[in-house]
Structure 1
């Protein structure tokens, strides 16, 4: 068996995080054997000892809709794109943000960012990466015709200009200072593609027919629609410290939980992130590999739409207070998640740990308290006789199990909470179409931070016009704090302002946080090396994959 690795600094960070939410954790994180699965969350896994001709992985959320980086905004797309396309910056497995295609960057005021580009980088076709390619790629997010999923008022909407200011330099000028901007250059917002290939490919760009042209450690060898994508080692990859150890990697699209479990246990596939919850016990007992829980930036939550009783903050807080999230963590989530006490996922930061951990400890615990919930509900002004519907995708049965606990809790305090399942094909509209949300009290989400900066995540939820503010939530005090935090050059000051926002947000609770799940990674005994943390979504995890010793 390989051992998951936890760095000293991470172990300290996790100790603080566990202590900070202990009032709401109890011992419900213990597995049947008495072990606390979440006591130490891994950052990476044992380094590979050799090369492999081929390996097989799986995408449990299905086939990517596109490999165009500006359309990579979900698990399937990002898990693949992270290995073929690269950003100016990179999120490392320990959540630190480091230079990548940019050799360095500088900003004096948080408004002008100057990136010095790494030399000697080539695309797969051998053509050199130029400053014009970089400027073009970043400007795609500003072009409505390109339809970037990463375009937003808070980030791309704050960009004044992006220009190649020399053959080796690109300058980004913002309309207003934002000291969080550089971290976005480690996401698809900072990914560089070949301008020539993008323009030549047209509407086929990012599809099985048109493909992409990037600089990453792997290229796309074959895309069999509905079945798999095969990546090939980039023999001319610029970063010799991260030369792939696998020549050919087949990434399959198995979504059925039972089929995923069988494929992993039988060795038909070598590994997978996000293994099904229903597979946890079986994979822990598997004799051919290991289930590893990794440090995460994810959370499961219920998003209020603003309609019905949940439009009242007192109703939201009362229902959350009455819900036994500890029971959900131990049963529905198989002790692979902790009860959520905040809209910031536990441990989702790479700086100011003392500030964020201390603030988290001051938040109300997640233990169920029926009497307190009734007291909170007494302040409600909404019509409490109206049924609250919580919508979920029917293909994910654990959501129904989760909502059943909210149904039970609601009954205890006089609320009628009912689940409503819809096919996944329809459920996606709840995130983009107000008409789809109309008439429903809430819908579920498995959500994640794009970068390890809590301010960035919070403003998507609580800022007026935020990309995930689906209820029209507005709080003038939060708006003022957001502006101050974005303009704060000192990380400690920014963290302190962010925790003020965090406390105000939890008092109003536009989202009802449920649990903070760990990354669930399974690997067979023949492979090792990949990061165990949630960084895999933007980090070239497959470049670290190789033979186990």
Structure 2
């Protein structure tokens, strides 16, 4: 269950000295002599530069290498990171007090100037950060102007008052601002290292980081190894000495390596083996709630997907009960909105078409497609893009079959490895693509912002002025009820325009060896290796 705390309460809790999260080993626990955690990570990270990433595989590694002002606790709550406390009297100007014992992996102190430099770098157009929009969304003063090249990065509303005091000024109040600061785009980077090595600063031997671990080895497409950062401020309470990330795209291969004892945690579970694994290894299967939605995105700038009738037809013809319950079958729920039911404080609206039977949806879909000019004599043909992954392929095959059976649509499946797939989507070189979005923080805006006209991850280039207006208004609504009402209206617009086809609400299912201690039930799947340990077998 997600802990729900007001911003004022967060400030007070931090001021009163709520401890940062760390490994908590129960009394009497016998620890393994070798404290090494080996994690499956799905794909090879596209980068290890915090300001140049956008995916989950990258974020997993960066969460160990770097630490922001705050972290995400085991229940998704905010806990202190480099900032041991903070305060704001108006939700507009925030002052963060940094730990005086925070250190970089080379021993240098972590200062407010490091955060000032890093936040400016994240919005600087020269950095080309795919997440620069995130700081715009946070309404940090002048972020939009800097991102658009209308003001220099030095005009961003961040200021180091002294070495251990950072002031962040917003253009307008954001009630969930502090919870946004545990994400990679807000991590500090070591200025001297970045300026000395340029694009090569993330290589082994060059990288200087401030998290619980440092980069010790990186063999592309094989493994990333992290070692304890002895200068980390809370190193005394860190138990794991090394963490190894393996980019294994095949869930079956990953499962086999787990069962042979080579892996401590998997990234996923093969769908076809889930029930067997639950029966044979009940102590290893872990299924947690996950604030995210799996969907297909339509490129609204390419014909015929600029036609709302085509988008609606394809969405209606997806039998979500079959995909969620049969193809996936790990506890996923059918999705009819972008924000899932698990978002803290928000109940998605019951959109009209969600109440139809699948037969009614199929009939409506056929009528819409025929009205758009497609039928037996002129079947709709297009490519469906997905990143290399066994489970994504199974979903794509099932949905392509539904489209073929009920609409006569002919689909060519195209799979690409993770980095290429991201580039293809970002550049708009696709027709329909598999996508998924995991909330960056547990609030509906973290999902719905994705569909704003100028959002950096709006790969389908959807634009609706009324949707944008509602999301802009939500930032000014300090009352949660009023804010959620705006979110519901925004969802209703998406249900009509259908720039994406929501398919299912995520759960996070993986295999975890029983000897792994400290594994959290974090609804954002924000797992910090520093909070974990290995028991003796």
Q: TM-score range by the shorter chain?
A: 0.7 to 0.9
Please list, as runs of the form range in 1=range in 2, the aligned pairs for 1:113-152 lying within 5 A after superposition. 113-152=94-133
Q: Is the 8 A contact 2:330 2:507 kept in 1?
A: no
1:344 to 334, 339, 355: 339
Counterpart in the other structure of 1:421? 414
Q: CA deviation at 1:518?
A: 0.9
Counterpart in the other structure of 1:187? 183
Counterpart in the other structure of 2:382? 389
Please list, as runs of the form range in 1=range in 2, the aligned pairs for 1:203-282 lying within 5 A after superposition. 203-211=199-207, 213-239=208-234, 243-282=237-276
* CA–CA distance in structure 1, aligned partners of residues 70 and 401 of structure 2: 46
Q: Is the 8 A contact 2:227 2:243 kept in 1?
A: yes
Q: CA deviation at 1:125?
A: 2.1
* CA–CA distance in structure 2, aligned partners of residues 397 and 167 of structure 1: 49
Q: CA deviation at 1:79?
A: 0.9
1:454 to 421, 434, 444: 444
2:532 to 531, 538, 544: 544
- The change in CA–CA distance for 1:286 and 1:229 in structure 2 (over 3 A counts) is farther
Counterpart in the other structure of 1:166? 162
- The change in CA–CA distance for 1:310 and 1:47 in structure 2 (over 3 A counts) is farther
Q: Secondary structure of the equivalent of 1:516?
A: strand
Q: Secondary structure of the equivalent of 1:311?
A: coil
Q: CA deviation at 1:486?
A: 0.9
* CA–CA distance in structure 1, aligned partners of residues 252 and 361 of structure 2: 41
Q: Secondary structure of the equivalent of 2:509?
A: strand
Counterpart in the other structure of 1:507? 496
Deviation per CA, 1:328-359: give whole Å up to 9, x if none.
1223213342111210133133xx2xxx23x4
Q: Secondary structure of the equivalent of 2:241?
A: strand
- The change in CA–CA distance for 1:103 and 1:494 in structure 2 (over 3 A counts) is farther
Gaps of 5+ in 2: 5-22, 147-155
Deviation per CA, 1:382-428: give whole Å up to 9, x if none.
33345142422373344343234434443565452413314336433
Gaps of 5+ in 1: 1-6, 11-44
| Matched positions, count | 496
Q: Is the 8 A contact 2:339 2:448 kept in 1?
A: yes
Please list, as runs of the form range in 1=range in 2, the aligned pairs for 1:298-309 lying within 5 A after superposition. 298-306=292-300, 307-309=302-304
- The change in CA–CA distance for 1:457 and 1:9 in structure 2 (over 3 A counts) is closer
- Aligned Cα root-mean-square deviation (Å): 3.1
Q: Is the 8 A contact 1:57 1:249 kept in 2?
A: yes
Please list, as runs of the form range in 1=range in 2, the aligned pairs for 1:497-536 lying within 5 A after superposition. 497-536=486-525
Q: Secondary structure of the equivalent of 1:486?
A: helix
- With 154-163 and 192-201 compared, the bigger mean Cα shift is at 154-163
Q: Secondary structure of the equivalent of 2:392?
A: helix
Q: CA deviation at 1:378?
A: 4.2
Q: Secondary structure of the equivalent of 1:246?
A: coil
* CA–CA distance in structure 2, aligned partners of residues 414 and 252 of structure 1: 41
Deviation per CA, 1:441-485: give whole Å up to 9, x if none.
x11113322221211321122x12222323332323222211210
Q: CA deviation at 1:324?
A: 1.4
- The change in CA–CA distance for 1:268 and 1:398 in structure 2 (over 3 A counts) is closer
Deviation per CA, 1:57-110: give whole Å up to 9, x if none.
233423323322212321221111111211112222322233322233344555
Q: CA deviation at 1:280?
A: 2.3
Q: Secondary structure of the equivalent of 1:447?
A: strand
- The change in CA–CA distance for 1:214 and 1:296 in structure 2 (over 3 A counts) is same
- With 52-61 and 446-455 compared, the bigger mean Cα shift is at 52-61
Q: Is the 8 A contact 1:319 1:409 kept in 2?
A: no
* CA–CA distance in structure 2, aligned partners of residues 417 and 291 of structure 1: 37
- With 337-346 and 491-500 compared, the bigger mean Cα shift is at 491-500
1:55 equivalent in alignment to 2:36: yes
Q: Secondary structure of the equivalent of 2:159?
A: strand
Counterpart in the other structure of 2:68? 87
- The change in CA–CA distance for 1:389 and 1:146 in structure 2 (over 3 A counts) is same
- The change in CA–CA distance for 1:119 and 1:51 in structure 2 (over 3 A counts) is farther
* CA–CA distance in structure 2, aligned partners of residues 446 and 379 of structure 1: 26
Q: Is the 8 A contact 1:93 1:535 kept in 2?
A: no
2:464 to 437, 462, 475: 475
Please list, as runs of the form range in 1=range in 2, the aligned pairs for 1:292-303 lying within 5 A after superposition. 292-303=286-297
